[in-house]
C-alpha cells in the first residue's frame, strides 16, 4: 500500500508512542456514570487534562522534537525552537525545550488569554505578542526561522505532530477495543486527524466526529469549500479552536477529510453549559475547547443510545475569569 499524501500512518503513530514515552503521559479513560445514564450509553472521558502541560499538545511536540534529534542530532536544535500558538501548543514547546535546555520563543496573538501566556512564560520561554490573529503570529515565526535559524514546531500541520496526537487513538483502542464513537474538538486538525488515523486503521467502523465553533471554524469552512480558506477569528470560550488551518496546508486538511465521518458546530451557550456540567458533575476543570464533545451531544441531541462513546477532554487551560463567564452564560 502506498503512503498516504498526508504522511500519517499507523506505523508512524506507534513510532511516536515509542518516542514520547517518559515525556507525555498515558492518560486515563474513565466512565462517566452521570452522562452514561443521561444518554443511555456508555460515555467515557479521555483525560488529556492530566498531561504535564495540561493538554494533549505535548504528545505531538515531544514526538517532533525527538524525531528531529533522531534524524539530525542535537545540533538540529542548537539555535532553539519557535512556534505560534493559542497557548497549549506554546506551553508544550516551552516544556519540551526546557527539558532539553534549548531556547524557545513562543509567538502569540493578542487574543490569547493572559493565563495561557503566563503558563508559557513560567516554563522559561520568551513570549512575543504579535497581531490579532494566528496568521500574524505565524509571520513572526517565519522571520525567526529565516533570520535566526530557529526550528519551527508547527501547532498541527505536520505528520510528526499529527502522529504524536494519534497516540491517543492507540490508547483508546487498548482501553476500549469495542469503542463505537469518538467526539473530538476540531480546529487545525492535528488532534482529530491523528486520533482518526489510528482509530480507522485499527477499527474502521468506528465513527469519528469533529466538533467546531459556531463561528470562525476554519476547517469546517475549508472542507465545505474543498480547499483551505481563511476565516475571521472571533472571541470564544473555546479559544483553542480558533485560528486558520493555513492556506498552504499540506497535511491535516487531507487527513481530516479522510478520517472524519461527521461534523457539528456548537454555540457559546452549549460550550458554557458543558464546561459547567463537567465541573459540577465530574469535578473536572476543562477549557471550552475540551468541552465541545459534550456540547455537541447536548445541543444537537445526538442519538448515541446503546453505544460506547469517548469524549476527548483535550485540556484544562481555563482561567477563573473565563469559568465565571461560562457559569453566567450557562445560567448557573
CATH code of 224's domain: 3.40.50.1100
Cell of 3: 503512503
**4 is a domain residue:** no
Q: Is residue 23 domain-shared with residue 145, that is, in the same domain?
A: no
pLDDT along the chain (332 residues), means of 10: 73 96 94 97 98 95 90 84 85 87 88 81 90 84 94 94 98 98 97 98 98 93 94 88 89 97 97 97 96 98 97 93 92 84
209: phi then psi, degrees, rounded to nearest 5: -115, 130
Residue ranges in 127-217 assigned as alpha helix (H)? 134-148, 159-175, 190-202
How much is the pLDDT for 1? 40
Q: Is residue 194 domain-shared with residue 306, that is, in the same domain?
A: yes
Please name the residues in contact with 242: beta carbons below 8 A apart, sequence gap of 6 or more.
Answer: 86, 111, 134, 187, 213, 216, 233, 234, 236
Rounded to whole angstroms, the Cα distance separating 232 from 235 reads: 10
Q: Is residue 116 domain-shared with residue 145, that is, in the same domain?
A: yes
Going by C-alpha positions, the residue among 103, 107, 160, 155 that lies closest to residue 133 is 107
Tell me, yes or no, if 57 is annotated catalytic: yes
Q: Is residue 28 domain-shared with residue 118, that is, in the same domain?
A: no
Rounded to whole angstroms, the Cα distance separating 132 from 140 reads: 12
Domain end call among 111, 126, 152: 152
Rounded to whole angstroms, the Cα distance separating 228 from 215 reads: 16
Q: Which residues pair with 265 in a beta bridge?
A: 212
Residue 164 belongs to what domain range? Answer: 10-55+158-330
Q: Is residue 67 domain-shared with residue 173, that is, in the same domain?
A: no
Domain end call among 111, 134, 152: 152
Q: Is residue 148 domain-shared with residue 166, that is, in the same domain?
A: no
Q: Is residue 96 domain-shared with residue 238, that is, in the same domain?
A: no
**2 is a domain residue:** no
CB 77 within 8 A of CB 54: no
Q: Is residue 85 domain-shared with residue 165, that is, in the same domain?
A: no
Q: Which residues pair with 308 in a beta bridge?
A: 42
Q: Is 228 left (phi over 0), alpha (psi -120 to 50) or beta?
A: beta
Q: Is residue 143 domain-shared with residue 35, that is, in the same domain?
A: no
Does the pTM of the predicted model rise above 0.85? yes
Please name the residues in contact with 91: beta carbons below 8 A apart, sequence gap of 6 or more.
Answer: 53, 54, 55, 57, 85, 116, 119, 120, 123, 317
Query: Of residues 57, 116, 200, 308, which has the active-site annotation?
Result: 57
Element spanning 19, H or E: helix 10-20
How much is the pLDDT for 86? 64
Domain end call among 152, 167, 186: 152
Q: Is residue 15 domain-shared with residue 75, that is, in the same domain?
A: no
Q: Is residue 247 domain-shared with residue 179, that is, in the same domain?
A: yes
Please name the residues in contact with 175: beta carbons below 8 A apart, sequence gap of 6 or more.
Answer: 29
Amino acid at each position: 500500500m502506498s503512503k498516504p499524501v498526508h504522511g500519517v500512518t499507523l506505523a508512524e503513530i506507534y513510532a511516536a508512542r515509542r518516542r514520547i514515552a517518559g515525556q507525555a503521559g498515558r492518560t486515563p479513560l474513565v466512565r462517566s456514570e452521570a452522562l452514561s445514564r443521561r444518554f443511555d450509553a456508555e460515555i467515557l472521558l479521555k483525560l488529556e487534562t492530566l498531561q504535564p502541560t495540561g493538554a494533549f499538545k505535548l504528545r505531538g511536540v515531544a514526538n517532533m522534537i525527538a524525531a528531529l534529534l533522531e534524524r539530525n542530532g542535537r545540533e538540529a536544535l542548537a539555535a532553539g525552537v519557535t512556534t505560534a500558538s493559542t497557548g497549549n501548543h506554546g506551553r508544550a514547546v516551552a516544556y519540551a525545550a526546557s527539558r532539553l535546555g534549548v531556547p524557545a520563543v513562543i509567538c502569540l496573538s493578542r487574543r490569547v488569554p493572559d493565563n495561557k501566556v503566563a503558563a508559557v512564560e513560567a516554563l522559561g520561554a520568551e513570549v512575543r505578542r504579535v497581531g490579532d490573529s494566528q496568521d500574524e503570529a505565524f509571520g513572526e515565526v517565519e522571520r525567526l526561522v529565516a533570520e535566526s535559524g530557529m526550528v519551527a514546531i508547527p501547532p498541527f500541520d505536520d505528520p510528526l505532530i499529527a502522529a504524536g496526537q494519534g497516540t491517543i487513538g492507540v490508547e483508546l483502542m487498548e482501553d476500549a477495543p469495542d469503542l463505537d464513537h469518538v467526539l473530538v474538538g476540531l480546529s487545525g486538525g492535528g488532534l482529530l486527524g491523528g486520533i482518526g488515523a489510528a482509530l480507522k486503521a485499527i477499527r474502521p467502523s468506528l465513527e469519528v466526529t469533529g466538533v467546531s465553533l459556531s463561528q470562525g471554524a476554519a476547517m469546517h469552512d475549508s472542507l465545505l469549500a474543498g480547499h483551505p480558506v481563511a476565516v475571521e477569528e472571533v472571541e470564544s470560550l473555546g479559544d483553542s479552536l480558533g485560528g486558520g488551518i493555513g492556506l498552504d496546508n499540506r497535511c491535516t486538511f487531507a487527513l481530516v477529510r479522510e478520517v472524519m465521518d461527521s461534523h457539528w458546530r456548537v454555540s457559546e451557550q452549549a460550550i458554557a453549559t458543558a464546561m459547567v456540567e463537567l465541573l459540577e458533575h465530574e469535578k473536572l476543570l476543562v477549557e471550552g475547547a475540551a468541552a465541545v464533545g459534550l456540547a455537541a451531544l447536548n445541543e444537537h441531541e445526538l442519538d448515541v443510545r446503546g453505544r460506547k462513546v469517548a469524549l476527548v477532554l483535550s485540556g484544562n487551560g481555563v482561567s477563573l475569569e473565563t469559568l465565571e463567564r461560562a457559569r453566567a452564560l450557562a445560567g448557573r
